[in-house]
Amino acid sequence: MQQKPTSSESIVSLRDVQKSFGPLRVLDGVSFSVERGEVLALIGRSGSGKSTALRCIDRFEKVDGGEIVVCGHRVDRPDVDLRALRQDVGIVFQSYNLFPHLTIEQNITLAPCAVKGLATGEAKDLARKVLAQVGLEEKLHAYPEQLSGGQQQRAAIARSLAMQPKVMLFDEVTSALDPELTGEVLKVIEQLAADGMTMVMVTHEMGFAKGIADRIVFMHRGKVHETGPASILTSPTTPELTQFVGTGNLKS
Amino acid sequence: MGGHLNINHLIFLGQGALWTIGLSVIALIGGGIVGFVIALARISPLKSVRIASAVYVQLIQGTPLLVILFLGYFGLAAIGLQVSPLAAAGASLTLYVAAYLGEIWRGCIQSVPKPQWEAAEGLALSRTQRMMKVILPQAIRIATPPTVGFMVQIVKNTSLASVVGFVELMRSGQIVNNSLFEPFAIYAIIAVTYFAMCYPLSLFSQRLERRMGRGRSNLAPA
């Protein structure tokens, strides 16, 4: 619908975003933006607000104040066209959330057929194409339960890709996976980044963030505490990030 | 009449049993349709719809079926609407069954993990599409065992329709007894007949539950 190219503009921009859950202030004046083709990693401790910030972008959470613009949609406004927004934004969750009653192919073709009105044949071709992108062509007719966690997550990424989003959001997509399976999912995301996909990811994989992210946003107590290129992970300027990176490295 | 139990009595009881099945089917279909609407209304985004449906469920669940049947038959007659026993019993059971099935099904719909809703939302599916293509197919699998189990209650509860003169199994037993005066023998036959109708349903429900238990991992990914 909103087809006008936002060439020099940001794909995602948050300005002074406020969000509280009851008395708890989760986002306290968060601002950052993501340019086309950029990969932004949101890092921080549990409870720092990074996942909430990500969910606000796709309006899974309503903000209390501030401005969010995503692909031209004013997400903070109550009258935002949610379905148009979500056609532009793909989101992948920690728990995969594939539809268990549908095959992988049906999982992928559902939204393109139902939302974009694609013909079945076209949608099936598309399913094959996106599954090839994540290296799962042979699982076309499998059910989610027959796949490993890593394969399910790759299928979920393929499902999201089939809607041809302008930006993809990843919410701790490897947190439920063991290190071996994490690797195969990260490889897929790396390939997407190489293909120029705009991405925002919440991640605990510091090594991965360092390798792939154009920009790091470190969140602390609901605020953007430190931001900069991936090099801030090796030479942080705030004591909080220093400590966070230190403990992160110890863990992994 | 008087005399002994003969083939004609048994045929009469058999007809009553068929009406018990017929009334059960009417209650299940009518109650199923209304119950489905109730289930959707109970989780409606509109608060007024949620409250109205909750009030309906509470009213029906807090009223004995016997009273609902009397209200349906004599109440409507009192305000000048003459209805047949079948219509009164069918309508009353429909209202009754709808309240229970509505609640059972609401629970089943809500037991589909919330992330499934979010995943469907994230793919830009409309609320109707999310419900029809993602949530209900999963909810139906969860709902089948308790629904079949509840059908046993429906079959047994149709016996109350005898009070409004509807000749189902229970009422036909009373009629036969009125001529034979052998209550123990006759009600034993009736009990066995009800059991023969309900037990297969119970077994079926249990089997479904076992099968669901095995496949539970299908329903909750991760």
Most A CBs within 10 Å, among B123, B125, B127, B141, to test the A interface: B123
What per-residue confidence (pLDDT) applies to A219?
A: 95
Inter-chain touch B129–A176, beta carbons under 8 Å: no
Nearest CB to B119; choose among A82, A93, A145? A93
Q: Which residues of A touch B121 (CB under 8 A)?
A: 60, 82, 86
With respect to residue B42, please indicate whether it lies within any of the assigned structural domains.
no
Q: Which of A181, A170, A176 is nearest to A91 (CA)?
A: A170
Inter-chain touch B138–A98, beta carbons under 8 Å: no
Which uninterrupted H or E stretch holds A247?
Answer: helix A239-251
Rounded CA Rg of chain A: 18
**Per-residue DSSP letter, B73:** I
Q: Which of A20, A27, A40, A26 is nearest to A68 (CA)?
A: A27
With respect to residue B134, please indicate whether it lies within any of the assigned structural domains.
yes
Residue-range definition of the domain harbouring residue B73? 7-26+50-215
Provide the Cα torsion B204, B210, B214, B220; round to 10°: 90
Is residue A91 classed as helix, strand or coil in its secondary structure? strand
What are phi and psi for residue A15, nearest 5 degrees? -135, 115
Rounded distance between C-alpha atoms, residue A162 and residue A98, angstroms: 14
With respect to residue B189, please indicate whether it lies within any of the assigned structural domains.
yes
With respect to residue B127, please indicate whether it lies within any of the assigned structural domains.
yes
Per-residue pLDDT tens for B106-146?
999 999 999 999 999 999 999 999 999 999 999 998 998 99
Inter-chain touch B141–A114, beta carbons under 8 Å: no
Rounded CA Rg of chain B: 21
Residues ≥6 apart with Cβ < 8 Å to B177: B183, B186, B187
Most B CBs within 10 Å, among A82, A85, A95, to test the B interface: A95
Rounded distance between C-alpha atoms, residue B165 and residue A240, angstroms: 80
Residue-wise pLDDT tens for chain A (252 aa)? 444 444 457 899 999 999 999 999 999 999 999 999 999 999 999 989 999 999 999 999 999 999 999 999 999 999 999 999 999 999 999 999 999 999 999 999 999 999 999 999 999 999 999 999 999 999 999 999 999 999 999 999 999 999 999 999 999 999 989 988 999 999 999 999 999 999 999 998 898 899 899 999 999 999 999 999 999 999 899 999 999 988 655 444
Residue count of chain A:
252
Average pLDDT over residues B63-90: 90
What per-residue confidence (pLDDT) applies to B2?
A: 56
Interchain contact B123–A (C-beta under 8 A): yes
With respect to residue B37, please indicate whether it lies within any of the assigned structural domains.
no
Which uninterrupted H or E stretch holds A39?
Answer: strand A39-44
Contact B53, B179 (CB under 8 A): no
Alpha helices by DSSP H, chain B: 7-42, 47-61, 65-70, 76-78, 85-110, 114-122, 127-129, 136-157, 169-180, 183-214, 216-219
Question: Does B191 have pLDDT greater than 80?
Answer: yes
Provide the Cα torsion A96, A99, A103, A104; round to 10°: -30
Q: Token pair of B43, please?
A: 């989780």
What per-residue confidence (pLDDT) applies to B206?
A: 87
Interchain contact B111–A (C-beta under 8 A): no
Q: Token pair of B37, please?
A: 């609407």
Mean pLDDT in chain B?
91
Average pLDDT over residues B22-39: 97
Residue type, B210: R
Q: Which of B164, B15, B36, B146 is nearest to B94 (CA)?
A: B36
Q: What is the ipTM of this complex?
A: 0.89
Inter-chain touch A95–B219, beta carbons under 8 Å: no
Contact B31, B93 (CB under 8 A): yes
What per-residue confidence (pLDDT) applies to A1?
A: 45
With respect to residue B33, please indicate whether it lies within any of the assigned structural domains.
no
Give the strand order in the sheet containing A223-228.
A89-92, A167-171, A198-202, A39-44, A215-220, A223-228
Interchain contact B45–A (C-beta under 8 A): no
Interchain contact B121–A (C-beta under 8 A): yes
With respect to residue B55, please indicate whether it lies within any of the assigned structural domains.
yes
Rounded distance between C-alpha atoms, residue B144 and residue A154, angstroms: 32
Domain of B185, CATH number, reads 1.10.3720.10
Cα–Cα distance list, B191 to B141, B159, B168, B173, B183 (Å): 32, 11, 13, 10, 12
What is the count of structural domains for chain B? 1
Q: Which residues of A touch B141 (CB under 8 A)?
A: 101
Interchain contact B125–A (C-beta under 8 A): yes
With respect to residue B201, please indicate whether it lies within any of the assigned structural domains.
yes
Q: Which residues of B touch A145 (CB under 8 A)?
A: 217-218, 221
Per-residue pLDDT tens for B203-215?
998 888 787 765 4
